[in-house]
Structure 1
Amino acid sequence: MSHRFTFRAAAAIAVVGALALAGCSSSAEPDEGEAAASDGTFPVTIQHAFGETTIDEAPADVVTWGWGSTEASIALGVVPVAIPFDSYAGGDDGVLPWVSDELDSLGVDTPIVLSNDGEAPPYEEIAAADPDVILAVYSGLTEEQYELLSEIAPTVAYEGEAWSTPWKDVVTTVGTALGKSEEADTVLADLDQVLADSAAAHPELAGKTVAAVWDVAGTFYVYKAADPRVAFLFDLGLVNAPAVDELSNGDETFYYTLSYEQLDKLDSDIVVNYSDTAAEQEAFLAASYAQAIPAVKAGAVAQVVGTEVVASVSPPTALSLTWGLDDYLDSLSAAAAVVDAE
């Protein structure tokens, strides 16, 4: 997926945009989608940052935009007719691996893949898909973009700030829009059980403080507790390092930049560092400014390396959580073991 932000540029949990249109046929027949979604009571009205959206009937043809709505819709039994191209962690067709895996397991075709240039939604392509609803629950839509999309179909935006919808709220909001709130509760209950089991299997994580960071092209980013990827770490038993809040300069809601000269103040038990490649990871660890971070100096670094792995946990989605969880836990556990050995 792509948009204005990139994983590398820190604020986003989505990715760098790409002007590409990869398309196949719709993955679900319209009446199949309508039947699957018709167990809810309509109309429904959903509040969001730009007001409210009323959906009169159970949607059959769904277009998703942003991050996570695609996976939530599929997990709830409604395969969208069109999804955004993801140039960061998607394959050549712009489809994320866990989405591709799920489509294969369902035996359905890949939806239309919408061009994603990082600036604005491709309105003509979306209109051509003739959606009943547009789900952009975790996205960076501007009010103008929202208004233009709403001329095509009822559009559901994020509730608070752009790119900061908690990943669980993505599932519940999509469930409401599709008339599948009970199914959404079931999906979340299953994932909560996975998280509870994971936390129980890794008691070494419980209560350890964490700072999630990314060093990109001379700029050092620190993610705040409001960032959904950090909330995911809390789900696994970790807690926010006080230094993360103390050093915050108010740049953005869910991240801030920190000068290299201040990195010695970023004190936490564990540092989670995101890198696109192993070479970037090694360069970060070798940098003198990185070694000034207490947890890095001690070796208590959980490395999240590779675009697919980074995307799967930044933040997780209804389908990516289980896809990337084992590797994530292994890395966090190794960092925690360093702390315990001190």
Structure 2
Amino acid sequence: MSNIRTAALLVAALTLAACGQTDTPSDKPAVAQGGAEFGQAGEKSAGFGTDAKPGQFPRTIKHAMGETVVEKRPERVVVLDGGELDNVVALGIKPVGVAYPDGAPTMPTYIGDKAGSPENVGGTTSLNLETIAKLQPDLIIGSQLRAEQQYPKLSEIAPTVFAVRPGYTWKENFRLNAAALDKSAEAEKLISDYEAHAKQVGEDIESRTGKRPTITMLRFMPGKTRLYAKKSFIGTILIDAGLPQPPASQVDDLAVEVSTEQITQADADWILIGTYGNQTKTAQDQVLGGPLWQTLNAVKAGHAKPVSDETWFLGLGVLAAEEVLTDLTKTITS
């Protein structure tokens, strides 16, 4: 168990480092950097997958940690993050084990009973390898960002396939997971349907409101307040829908981090608000109860609304993306 704890601590440290902010003048928001090779994650992920034909096993899967041979069609799948959970459920598979995000340690409401009753195998940064082994999986899927240090031990348990990272590469990650599961055609159909839906949502909002409103995705987290930017899950959805973000969020990275004094950077036609983990451990009450908040145009117009963090920020898959699009339409046009 000491080795497991050590590995978990290493992953936690790496994750915190990856989410750290750069040193910038106090009057400017800091970029919440996505970590090493963040900007190249999409390009790198595009080369992942398999050359195997539909139904062909064994198949070799190229992924973030190299190549893995999947000997037979997987039936007992363990997923190590919310994106992988979303992906397998979207493809009609009920995982035998799931690692939940540390700040949301239960089955997401938007997935509900569609995932069955998988075993809890720990948090995304604190995996329980013993529990995973007992489940006798024939495939483990996760990401290099979350669990690189545990990859060798996971690979001893079962064939293990890792994306580079969760987040803005969610479509590439879906395709990678589908390749390992021999469900690539199904994944492509779901992505195509989502993209058509996103385009329609943007058109409907423009038709019903008279414009394409700017939208800020504000998220309160323990120790940080973020404006999510272009290279985030929600950022890609807004781009696909043709809905712009305001200047402060127009960075080619995960997010910008703002202080309570910088909250005016969040102003837009709409501010949609997520809360990760325990609200009392975030700056949410301080910001929303502060004088600057009341000066924002979106707040004055009644256009600052809470959204489901587990869907809009933690879903990281096509099912969550579809739910976000539906919520987005209702929120802005109702």
Q: Which TM-score applies when normalising by structure 1?
A: 0.69
Residue 101 of structure 1 is matched in structure 2 by 113
Query: Which residue does the alignment assign to 1:29?
Result: none
Higher mean displacement: 229-238 or 288-297 = 288-297
Give the equivalent residue in structure 2 for 1:264: 264
SS of match in other structure, 1:288: coil
CA deviation profile, 1:83-137 (whole Å, cap 9, x unmatched): 22467556xxx3223333325xxxxx52223232x53211111111111111114
TM-aligned CA distance change 1:260 to 1:63, over 3 Å: same
Once the two structures are superposed, residues 181-208 of structure 1 have per-residue CA deviations (whole angstroms, 9 ceiling, x without a partner) of: 1111122223333333333332248643
Give the 3 Å change call, closer, same or farther, for CA 243–325 of structure 1 in structure 2. Answer: closer
Shift of 1:63: 0.9
- Report if aligned partners of 1:205, 1:237 keep a CA contact under 8 Å in 2: no
* 1:50 to 2:65 alignment: yes
Provide closer, same or farther for how the CA distance between residues 45 and 208 of structure 1 changes in structure 2, counting only shifts above 3 A.
farther
Amino acid at match of 1:258: V
Name 2:120's counterpart in structure 1: 113
1:174 paired residue number: 177
Paired position in structure 1 for 2:84:
69
Counterpart position of 2:219: 214
- Residues 99 and 149 (structure 1), Cα distance of their counterparts in 2 relative to 1, 3 Å cut: same
The residue identity in structure 2 corresponding to 1:288 is: P
Q: Let me know the Cα RMSD of the aligned residues.
A: 3.6
The equivalent residue for 2:94 is 79
Using a 3 Å threshold, how does the CA distance of structure 1 residues 320 and 212 change in structure 2: closer, same or farther?
Answer: closer
Contact 2:84 2:177 in 1 (8 A): yes
1:244 maps to which residue? 249
Letter in 1 for 2:183: K
Deviation at 1:240, TM superposition (A): 3.0
In the TM superposition, what whole-angstrom CA distance separates every residue of 1:296-326 from its partner, at most 9, and x where no partner exists?
355432431xxxx221122453333444543
Work out the CA distance in 2 between the residues paired with 1:47 and 1:296.
47
Kept in 1: contact 2:311–2:324 (CA 8 A): yes
Which residue is equivalent to 2:75?
A: 60
Matched residue SS, 1:312: helix
After TM superposition, the structure 1 = structure 2 runs for residues 192-341 of structure 1, keeping only pairs within 5 Å, are 192-203=195-206, 204=209, 207-216=212-221, 219-245=224-250, 253-275=253-275, 284-304=287-307, 309-314=308-313, 315-323=315-323, 325-333=325-333
Q: 2:110 aligns to what SS in structure 1?
A: helix
Structure 1 alignment gaps of length 5 or more = 13-37, 104-108, 335-342
Structure 1 residues 227 and 321: alpha-carbon distance in aligned structure 2, compared to 1, 3 A threshold: closer
- CA distance in structure 2 between the aligned counterparts of 1:220 and 1:261, rounded to whole angstroms: 11
Partner of 1:339: none
Q: State the partner residue of 2:142.
A: 136
> SS of the residue aligned with 1:114?
strand
CA change 1:230–1:302 in 2 (3 A) is farther
* In 2: Cα distance, 1:184 partner to 1:101 partner: 21
Structure 2 Cα separation of the partners of residues 205 and 54 of structure 1: 52
> What does residue 23 of structure 2 align with?
none
Confirm or deny: 8 A CA contact 1:172 1:181 kept in the other structure.
yes
Give, in angstroms, the shift of residue 284 of structure 1. 4.1
Measure the CA separation in 2 of the matches of 1:119 and 1:217. 16
Question: Between the two proteins, what is the percent identity of the paired residues?
Answer: 26
Deviation string, structure 1 residues 207-255 (Cα, Å, up to 9, x no partner): 4333211234664212121111221222333123222246x9xxxx412
Output the CA distance in 2 between the equivalents of 1:333 and 1:166. Answer: 29
Take 1:71 and 1:170, find their aligned partners in 2: how far apart are those partners?
Answer: 11
Q: For residues 57 and 310 of structure 1, do their structure 2 counterparts lie closer, same or farther at Cα, with a shift above 3 Å needed?
A: same
Alpha-carbon deviations, 1:131-151, whole Å to 9, x = none? 1111114x7424212222122
Question: Which residue of structure 2 lines up, in the alignment, with residue 152 of structure 1?
Answer: 157
SS in structure 1 at match of 2:82: coil
C-alpha displacement of 1:293: 4.3
In structure 2, distance between residues paired with 1:208 and 1:258: 22
8 Å contact from structure 1 (residues 206, 238) kept in 2: no
Q: What is the TM-score when the length of structure 2 is the normalising length? A: 0.70
Output the amino acid matched with 1:56. Answer: E
Match status 1:183 vs 2:186: yes
Give, in whole Å, the separation in 2 of the partners of 1:332 and 1:52: 44
Question: Is 2:263–2:287's contact at 8 Å kept on the other side of the alignment?
Answer: no
TM-superposition CA deviations, 1:144-184 (whole Å, max 9, x none): 1222212212212223xx33343322321111111111111
SS of residue in 2 equivalent to 1:52: strand
Given residue 97 of structure 1, which amino acid in structure 2 is its aligned partner? Answer: T
What secondary structure does 2:248 align onto? helix
Task: Rate the CA distance shift 1:275–1:188 in 2: closer, same or farther, 3 A.
Answer: same
Partners of 2:221 and 2:87 in 1: how far apart? 30
